[in-house]
Amino acid sequence: MGAWVTLLATIAGASIALAGQHVARRRDSRTRIGELLLEQCAQVVGLSDDFRVRVWEERELGLRGRVDTWDLSGYRHAAARLKILCDDAALLDALEEMTEAGKELGRYWRRGGADPAEIEARRDRDKLARQRFVAASAGLVRRRLTAG
């Protein structure tokens, strides 16, 4: 009888250990995905800010070629990684809105748009879109990193 109790206790202990390892692996995986999302969101926001500053430098400081040397490829790669990692509709909508606002600002500026009111309107739309993206990404990343 004692051998059966020992055997059952061993099986129960092993089952508990395996379940614990499974839960820990899932938590670590969620944390890693949350960290990757954080990195890509920060990359997208940083590159978007950089673009907006470059437009300002050309417009206000008269520096030439600043927009032309912006890292469009880096932005596209970070945005693509976000689309692959994330299925959150609010974040993806905010990313799309920010991308479109940046395109509209860049398109107007590169075509020689000189109307100060139009430039400001496009910069304001870009800024609001970026703020919406930051809010959406912050909420998602916090949820992912604090989820048990």
What is the DSSP track for 75-122? HHHHHHHHHHH---HHHHHHHHHHHHHHHHHHHHHHTT---HHHHHHH
Packing angle of the helix pair 72-85, 89-110 (nearest 10 deg): 160
Count Cβ atoms within 10 A of the Cβ of residue 95 and give its class: 0-12 exposed, 13-18 middle, 19 or more buried: buried
pLDDT at 47 over 70: yes
- Cβ atoms 30, 147 nearer than 8 A: yes
> DSSP letter at 69?
T
The pLDDT assigned to 3 comes to 73
Kindly give, in sequence order, each residue whose CB lies less than 8 Å from that of residue 132, ignoring residues fewer than 6 positions away: 94, 97, 98
The pLDDT assigned to 4 comes to 73
Average pLDDT taken over every residue of the chain: 87
Model confidence at 31, pLDDT cuts 50, 70, 90, reads: confident
The pLDDT assigned to 18 comes to 61
The pTM of the full predicted model, rounded to 2 decimals, is: 0.79
pLDDT at 35 over 60: yes
